[in-house]
Amino acid sequence: MKKILDHGYVELIETWGSDERIIEAARMSVDKGFISWEPYDKHPRGDLGLLSHLWNNKHATPFEMAGLVIEVKAPLFVFREWHRHRTQSYNEMSARYIPLPDENYLPTLDRCLTGANTPTANKQAQGKGGLMYETAHLWLKELDALYDHAQQVYERGIEFGIPKELARLPVPVARYSRMRASANLRNWLAFLTLRDHPAAQEEIRVYAQAVSELIAEHFPRTHALFEEGRQS
């Protein structure tokens, strides 16, 4: 399990397939299987040459023969971005049935200042003029107080007997929730292309980087080709 942000995490549940299974799937068309990662016959790169050919020429189907399932704890606004990737399968905890934990994402002061008045700021992060330390500190205090008030209204709704599906209305988009996500390797790499990218919002990018580390651990050759392609 890798800790993310102030209360979140990414945890591997299971994987299926491997770099070798990808090769075997590709060779079904010629009734052969995986041979070796070492050089053989007229193949100086071994089966890595085939894996590279598949990836570089977008023969993507064999990469659907492997994948992973993860559990994620993240703020709701991160999940709203994540769920745009419709090639993944999700199941998220529901505030209709259980109370959401009283945990909200509170950005660090450095996070608030980063991008507000720096040359690397994206358009969405730019403020009017320079964002000062004192201003950001005051805003964070107000945000934390807002979280406390929202929790009180939420808990009173439950206490008064308001249906949970309505009592949750005060819950902010910064509230942490949990989900499981499943996808094949092809679609996880598509996710990384968009979310582990300098243009992605930092809060989802750190989760994508954790997913990238899992893929590198369990599918090292495919991940290396993916990174090589991004840098070329």
Q: What is the pLDDT of residue 37?
A: 75
Record the pTM: 0.89
Q: Pick from 198, 193, 206: which is nearest to 108 by CA? A: 206
Count of Cβ atoms closer than 10 Å to residue 153 Cβ: 12
- What 3-state DSSP class applies to 1? coil
Residue 76: the pLDDT is 97
In whole angstroms, what is the distance from residue 132 CA to residue 20 CA? 53
pLDDT for 114 equals: 80
State whether residue 11 is helix, strand or coil: strand
- How many residues are recorded in the chain? 232
Indicate if 230 belongs to the active site: no
Coil, helix or strand at residue 100: coil
The predicted structure's pLDDT at residue 84: 95
Catalytic residue among 168, 175, 186, 195: 195
Q: CATH number of the domain at 1-105+175-232, please? A: 3.30.1360.170
The amino acid at 176: Y
Report whether 2 contacts 12 (CB < 8 A): no
What is the reported pLDDT for 116? 53
Provide block-wise average pLDDT over 10 residues at a time, the chain (232 residues): 97 97 86 74 77 91 96 98 96 91 95 64 48 88 98 96 94 97 98 96 97 98 93 76
